[in-house]
Structure 1
Amino acid sequence: MGMITINGTKIRELRKSKEMSIKALADELGKSSSTIGMYERGERSPNFETLFRLAHFFSVDVDYFFNEMDVMSENYELLSDEYAHYKKQVLERSKGICELCGNNAPFHVDGQPYLEFFVLETKQEHLSPTEKMVAVCPNCLKKLQILKLPGEIIFLKNKARNN
C-alpha cells in the first residue's frame, strides 16, 4: 500500500503531551527529524507500517490519526481493508484465545470472539504486519499498554513470529 492521508497535528499533540522533541520521536521510530516534522505539518504522510508504529507508541488506535470527515475517504477505506485483513489473520492464528494469558475471548460479537489487537514494537523491517500484531483480551491489552513488561513483550514477539 502507498501513502495515506492523516491529520498530522494529532502526531504533534501526542508528541507534545509526552513532552518529546521531534528528534526523540524520530529516533523512536527510526525516522529523520525532518520526516516527523513533515508528518506533523501535513506535508507528508506515513506509510502503513509507520502509522501502526505511531499508534502503538502513543497507545491509540490507528483511527485516531484520521479526521472525522476522512472516514469515508478512499485512503481510509484502503487502510481499513488492509488493517481488517491483518486483524482477521491474527484472530485466526489466535483461535479466539488471548495470546498473552491463554484465556478464551471474554465474549463474542456477531459470532466472532472479541479480542483486541496490540502492535508489537520492533525495528525488524522484514517482518510482516501479522508478525508484529497479536490478539489479546481487553485486560491484557491494558496491561501491555500501561506496564509494558519486557518479558511479556518478548513472549508475544516469539509467539507472533513462530505461528
Structure 2
Amino acid sequence: MTSFNERLRELRSRKKISQQELSDRLGFNRATYARYETGNTQPDFDTLKKLADFFEVSTDYLLGRTDKPRSSIQSDGFDEKEQAEFEAFINNPEHGIFFKDYLDAPEERREEMRIIFKALMEKERNRKPGQRQGE
C-alpha cells in the first residue's frame, strides 16, 4: 500500500508544481510541507483536508486507506460498479489515449469525460449480440 508521503509527492508531481508553489498556494511553510513528503511529520486534520481539497482526492486516498482517489459520492453520480468500470476502461491501453489526461484534467473536463463514458456504456448495453459497434 502506498504511504501518505509517497502519495503526496506523486500528486504534487502530477500537478507539475514545486513544493514552494504548493506551500504558497495553501499557506504552508515550505520546510513543513517538505517534511510531509519525506515522512518526517504528519499534517494535522485541517491541513490534511486542505491537501485533499487541493488535489481533489479523499483524505482516505491521501492516507493510503484506499486506492480510489475519490469516493463514490464524489464521483458525480457514479455508483461503485460504474466507477470501477470507468477506471478499468480508462486504464485500458486501447481506450487510454482518449482518457490519458483524466487525472490531471480540471474538474469540468473530467466531468465531460465521465459523461462521454456513460454514453458509450449505454450504447453498448443496448447492442444486441453479433451486432457491430455503431449499428
- TM-score normalised by structure 2 residue count: 0.48
Which structure shows the bigger proportion of residues in helix conformation?
Answer: 2
- TM-score normalised by structure 1 residue count: 0.40
Structure of larger gyration radius? 2
Q: Which of 1 and 2 has higher RCO (CA within 8 Å, sep 6+)?
A: 1
Which structure shows the bigger proportion of residues in strand conformation?
Answer: 1
